[in-house]
Structure 1
Amino acid sequence: MKYQNKNFYILTGGPGVGKTSVLNELEKSGYTVMPETARAIIKEQMATGGEALPWKSKELYMQLMVEASAESYREAISKNSLLPVFFDRGILDAVCYARMVGLDLSNEIQEIAEHYQYNTKIFIFPPWQGIYKTDEERKQDWKEAEATFEAMKKTYQDYGYEIIEVPKDTVEKRKEFIINRIKQNTSDED
């Protein structure tokens, strides 16, 4: 059975583009926000000496990302929110990662990617060198950040999603842009 929830919105893009700051503001405004699974996996694996890290076992890391993203989707369903639910990345972000590092996708991962569907409009944050920085979990350089943005766009488009680019602006204005686009989308559907 395929799930599609028109109320589930993905915020994605390359690393260090301001997604989390906007998601924090959405959460403060009363929206349900599902946190990024990739960073949680990296933190947990680093703390436990695990192998599921992008610089150790890319395949294991990708597998855990897909599983955690599917679990995040199921958890969001259980919340029964009437308001939009925002995801800090989605299942296809793990698929994009696999493509970028040259991993083959198993039939199981393909099925998960096709099984759990979000709203067809995806909010993508473009690379923004003025706010980009690395940290313990984010080790990509600027060129990788730019390449990730392009790969993310292509992956979501390949799966039939429409890309909405979030303008480079203040956190508040970016939040308002997203909410206004959702309201516009909802009124267009009525």
Structure 2
Amino acid sequence: CYAGVSCFKEEDLNQDNFIILTGGPSSGKTTVINALKARNFFCSEEAGRKIIRNQLEQKGDALPWANKQAFGNLVLRYGIASYLKHQSKNNIVFFDRSIVDVLAFFNLEKVKISDVLVSKITNFKYHSKVFIFPPWKDIFTNDNERREDFNVAINFYNEIIVAYEKSGYELVEVPFGTVDERVKFILAKLENS
């Protein structure tokens, strides 16, 4: 068990209906997730922004620019809980990032990788195709929760590629376009897989 997640006899979990959308910050993935939600798909929101908002409200330090280890551990805990929460669903569930993104974040920030993280990535499997959103300077913006610059977004994107490929996933790059075009691209790729 880990950080508040209930213990259970862990075996390999394989949810072929769990579809990951990932990419660097401000690449359009959350907008696409929201469009999929509007089309009545089950969607799991990104943990990072939720945790950052919560930590700022509570004046906590588990933030990506403060206590990177604590932030990553909270994202991992949220990712595990989200995975388990949606396990009973037979329909497609879209995830705005996954626990593999924690590995990419830790590699980017040179944070020690825990055995727990490696174990969860090994045992909690998603659909083999992962949709990755490339850095898109034209839509990149900062706010109170997204403080990194565009170069950091590019570096994180590159770490995401490494983390997912090492974890055995096939990356499918989502081309630039309107939200509707990107949604149609993802759904068409899933139909043909």
Give the shorter-chain TM-score range.
Answer: over 0.9
What do the CA deviations read for 1:18-56 (whole angstroms, capped 9, x no partner)? 011111110111100000001111010000011111121
List structure 1 segments (4+ residues) > 3 angstroms apart after TM superposition.
none
Question: Corresponding residue for 1:136?
Answer: 144
Which one-letter code corresponds to 2:108 in the other structure?
A: M
Aligned 1:74-93 pairs, distance under 5 A: 74-78=84-88, 80-82=89-91, 84-93=92-101
The structure 2 residue matched to 1:50, chosen from 60, 69, 73, is 60
- Tell me what 1:173 maps to: 181
Cα distance in structure 1, aligned partners of 2:117 and 2:99:
9
**1:81 Cα deviation after fit:** 3.6
Partner of 1:33: 43
- After TM superposition, the score normalised by the length of structure 1 is 0.94
Aligned counterparts of 1:109 and 1:146: Cα–Cα separation in 2: 23
Q: Where does residue 7 of structure 2 map in the other structure?
A: none
- Do structure 1's residue 20 and structure 2's residue 30 form an aligned pair? yes
Q: Which amino acid aligns with 2:185?
A: F
| TM superposition shift of 1:147 | 1.0
Percent identity of paired positions between Structure 1 and Structure 2: 34
Cα distance in 2 for residues equivalent to 1:86 and 1:58: 26
- Residue equivalent to 1:188: none
Q: In 2, Cα distance between the equivalents of 1:49 and 1:97?
A: 22
> Is 1:105 the counterpart of 2:116 in the alignment?
no
Q: Following the alignment from structure 1 to structure 2, what is the Cα–Cα distance between the partners of residues 20 and 106?
A: 28
Aligned Cα root-mean-square deviation (Å) = 0.8
Select the residue among 158, 161, 167 that pairs with 1:153: 161
TM-score (norm 2): 0.93
Q: Provide the residue aligned with 2:72 in structure 1.
A: 62
Q: Secondary structure at the match of 1:124?
A: strand
Q: How many residues align?
A: 183
